[in-house]
Amino acid sequence: MQLRVNRQLPYNVAESVIIPKNLQRENSDVQCFTDDEVDKIVKESVRCYKNGRRIYRLGEIAIFIVNTGLRIGEALALEWSDINFKKKTLKVRKNMVYVKSRSDNGKAYQYIKQKSTKTKNGSRVVPLNSTAIRALISLKGINGKTPYVFATSNGNRVTPRNIDRMFRSILRGCNIKETGIHTLRHTFASRLFAKGVDVKIVSELLGHSDVGITYDTYIHLIQEQRIVAVDVLENVL
């Protein structure tokens, strides 16, 4: 009798793993950009040479992520069919990962499109503010002939490595200390907390599998906002 082996699992087994407290990542050092730094990044992202040619072909991705909080894999997986300009929303339903190929002794890399997002709550509808809409309209003019929101000049998918390299170049142009593009996602969350948005809403927008992850990641920001909230009472009494 032959057994048929199905290598696909209906769920992510890693979600059942509980990390010991002493091994959990310290989140107190989560980096965020200040409002002034965000303004500089936005201006630098769309800067052009004297001849009018764009310096950063896909610079709007920085503006887009800081206004949506998407993971880089989620952003690069977006297709124009996921965007609803009329309702001002986008659907996050897949993820892109860039991994070493099993061939060529692991020296080559390949793009893998995952039909599901990173977490069980990752599939979500994200509202788009006017800044994110403007960034998408600009990108539509660049990549409108391809199915991908973020594509190379040849119409292929962009790698996270190339985006990270471009983003670090943007930061150098702003005289801001270099860091990964994931800092934009943290900044998105930070700005929401600064506006008093509830942690549960922030968690849903970020696509975290549990609100506890959001709380643990941004505990220092939440505590700061609580202090500000209590200080407001001094002006009332």
9 lies in some domain? no
Kindly give the residue spans of alpha helices, DSSP state H, lying in 33-181: 35-45, 60-68, 72-77, 130-143, 160-174
Cα gap 191→197, rounded to integer Å: 9
What CATH number is attached to the domain comprising 150? 1.10.443.10
Residue 224: the pLDDT is 78
The yes-or-no verdict on residue 139 having pLDDT over 60 is: yes
For residue 224, what are the domain limits?
Answer: 26-236
203 lies in some domain? yes
If one compares 179 and 120, the residue with the highest pLDDT of the two is: 179
pTM of the model: 0.79
Q: How confident is the model over 43-85, as pLDDT tens digits? A: 999 999 999 999 999 999 999 999 999 999 999 999 999 999 9
Per the structure, the count of domains in the chain is 1
16 lies in some domain? no
Report residue 221's pLDDT band, with 50, 70 and 90 as the boundaries.
confident
96 lies in some domain? yes
123 lies in some domain? yes
